[in-house]
Amino acid sequence: MAKNFNAWPEGWPKSLNYPDIPVHGFLDQTADRVPNRIAMIFGGMELTYGELRALSERFAAALASLGVEKGDRVAIHLPNCPQFAVAYYGALKIGAVFTPLSPLLAPREASHQLNDSGAETLISLDLLYPAISNIVPDTGIKRVVTTSIADCYNAIIAPLKPLGKTEVPDTIDMPTLLKEHEPEVPDVSIDPTKDLVHLAYTGGTTGLSKGVALTHANVVANVLQFGNWFTGAQIEVVDGKLTSVFPPGVDPEKDRITGRDRETSLVVVPWFHAMGTVGYLNAQVLGGNTMVVFPRFEPREFLEAVGKYKATLLGGAPQLYIPLVSLPDFKSYDLSGIKMAGSGAAPLAMPVLDKMLDAFSGVVIEAYGLSECTMGATSNPPDRSSTRPGSVGIPVYDTECKVVDAETGEDLPPGSVGEICIKGPQVMQGYWNKPEETAAVLRDGWLHTGDIGREDEDGYFYITDRKKDLIIYKGYNVYPREIEEVIFEHTAVQQCAVVGRPDIEVGEAPVAFVELRQGAEATREEILEHTNSQIAHYKKIRDVVFLDQLPVSGAGKVLKKELRERLNQE
């Protein structure tokens, strides 16, 4: 089945050129082009692109002196902060493989990931490391480097910052390493098509998390696919430099929604997640954007930063936007300068989307992907007239998607609901040391995602659910997302999730977990009546459980596995 280009943006190349460069080449290119442009703002601290490159080179030299070699896995256990970017690019520059270790992991989960990846180097935060220090001796970790948020503040401003530095015994101090080593990177040969660069772990929604093996070419492709989706530029290499080429008559500053070396982006998406590493670190660096970086999310602080820094871009999961639009004075903030707000990781509820569109002058873009395709596969086109509410858009450059029967694998026509499959240069090499699991999802060049959805006649895709989240009630397929959309329309509901409770008589009974808005009230009976009056009998929720806060992953996805386990225990 040929790719559907009905909705392809006019003037956009249908295929990109992908340069044969390593991932850290993006930083080198931008630092060469605009060395004095501010790359990052963090709690008042500023780093230029030239400074970010110099620090990463110092850290690369430091890692090499500690014995880290090409192919070694380096685990980064940090929140968003300048040290994360320095450590990430420093590790890549000596050919090491980055494996993100989420600060949200329990010690047991961190132990599994460190052992499975074979990481020998761990970079952690003074406030985070004590929580996992007891498991480190039972892993292959040979060296631990630690840093502190307080390392970012000079002596004058330190009294205004609430965090001080905590000494971490038996670890190596990162600022000391940076001071002791010159920015002299060892000469390491990297083959982008063969050498791994990321070993990112899946969320483990169906068991132990699996390592997703990605080459430099995988990541470079996905960064360019999304970095150029909003500029519509072709990539050419001229005298060793990445150059954006536009069709004749196109003025990039007037005719494109975003431009190189002129945007300011608010970055709160965790860099330890695929969406963060690819979309909110590397794609930002590619574009020469100034990143205003947050280690955690606080809605009012985030909104105030829009005006403070004249931000033009922001993005994240729906859990970013729900608290924003729920603030009583949300409409009092001037957000008209936002050119683009991206949303991914989970579906964006229509009431939230409507409020965002009212507040922003630019576009709200829903996109879709997963770790197994580096980050992303589809996106809505970058203009309001072409975005379709409820859709995750069309396949991006050089990417094909199709819908197949989840049982037989047979291709399905537009309008049919089935499993989404993806083919493209960003699709992973496979799961780390798991050939059987790899063979189960990579078949004939297609990645079988486990996500359920459909394609319309114009090539837009709609994700209706995860295959594993499907509820089977008396033999009927019940898709939770459809029910959640109805529940979300209740004015008292802030967030919700529907999962199946094992039931001998019916198989699985739909149960809703509901988080209410601050100060709002609703009873179990009200939610049941509101929801069940609008859906078919077999889809009706059988119970409502109120929670102060739904459990979510670092990427902002509701952890339905935890909710199902709760029901099973009960």
Instruction: Write out pLDDT tens, residues 360-376.
Output: 889 999 999 999 999 99
Residue 541 lies in a domain: yes
CA angle, residues 105, 84, 424, in degrees to nearest 5: 80
Q: Name the band, by pLDDT with cuts 50, 70 and 90, for residue 537.
A: confident
pLDDT surpassing 70 at residue 555: no
Query: Which pLDDT score, from 0 to 100, does residue 164 have?
Result: 85
Asked if pLDDT for residue 561 goes beyond 90, the answer is: no
The pLDDT assigned to 159 comes to 85
Domain count of the fold of the chain: 1
Report pLDDT for 51: 98
Neighbours of 540 (CB within 10 A): 17
Give the up-direction half-sphere exposure of residue 387: CA atoms within 13 A in the CB hemisphere. Answer: 22
Domain with 547 in it: 470-569
Strand-strand pairing, 340-343 and 172-173: unpaired
pLDDT of residue 417: 93
Which pLDDT score is estimated for 104? Answer: 82
- pLDDT tens-digit series, residues 132-178: 999 999 999 999 999 999 999 988 888 888 788 999 999 999 999 99
Average pLDDT over residues 398-408: 94
- What confidence tens digit (pLDDT) does each residue in 461-496 have? 998 877 778 787 876 667 788 788 889 899 999 999
Q: How far apart are CA 104 and CA 290, in angstroms?
A: 27
pLDDT band at 67 (very low <50, low <70, confident <90, very high): very high
Q: Does 338 score more than 90 pLDDT?
A: yes
pLDDT at 204 over 50: no
Over residues 344-362, the mean pLDDT reads 84
Residue range 420-431, pLDDT digits in tens: 999 999 999 999
Asked if residue 52 is part of any domain, the answer here is: no
338: three-class secondary structure by DSSP: coil
Does 268 map to a domain?
A: no
Of 211 and 155, the one with more pLDDT: 211
Burial class (CB in 10 A: 0-12, 13-18, 19+), 442: middle
How high is the mean pLDDT of the chain? 92
- In this prediction, residue 99 carries a pLDDT of 98
Domain for residue 6, yes or no?
A: no
Residue type at 554 in one-letter notation: G
Say which CATH number the domain at 507 has: 3.30.300.30
- Please tell me the distance from the alpha carbon of residue 199 to that of residue 91, in angstroms, as a whole number: 13
| 3-class secondary-structure state, position 212 | strand
Q: How is residue 84 written in tokens?
A: 């994360």
97 assigned to some structural domain: no
Position with higher pLDDT, 348 vs 179: 179
Better-scored residue on pLDDT, 273 or 207 = 273
What pLDDT does residue 160 have?
A: 83
Q: Identify the band that residue 203 occupies on the pLDDT scale cut at 50, 70 and 90.
A: low
| Average pLDDT over every residue of 107-120 | 94
pLDDT of 207: 54
Report the DSSP pairing between strands 290-293 and 264-267. Answer: parallel
Domain contains 394: no
**Predicted local distance difference test score (pLDDT) of residue 502:** 85
Q: What is the pLDDT of residue 25?
A: 98
Q: Which SS3 state, helix, strand or coil, does residue 392 take?
A: coil
Q: Given the structure tokens 């329309």, which residue do they identify?
A: 489
Sign of CA dihedral 95, 282, 39, 162: negative
Under a CB-based contact definition with an 8 Å cutoff, are residues 540 and 548 in contact?
A: no
The confidence score (pLDDT) of residue 314 equals 94
Q: Is the pLDDT of residue 206 over 70?
A: no
In a domain, 558, yes or no: yes
List CB contacts of 58: < 8 A, sequence separation 6 or more: 90, 177, 178, 181, 182, 183
- What is the structure's pLDDT at 246? 95
The mean pLDDT value for 51-62 works out to: 98
Tell me how many helices (H) and strands (E) the chain has: 17, 29
Helix (H, G, I), strand (E, B) or coil at 264: strand
Residue 304 lies in a domain: no
| Residue 511: pLDDT band with limits 50, 70, 90 | very high
Taking the mean position of all CA atoms in its chain, how far away is CA 499?
24
Structure tokens belonging to residue 20:
């044969």
Q: Distance between CA atoms of 381 and 7, rounded to whole angstroms?
A: 8
Average of pLDDT values for 231-244? 93
pLDDT at 237 over 80: yes
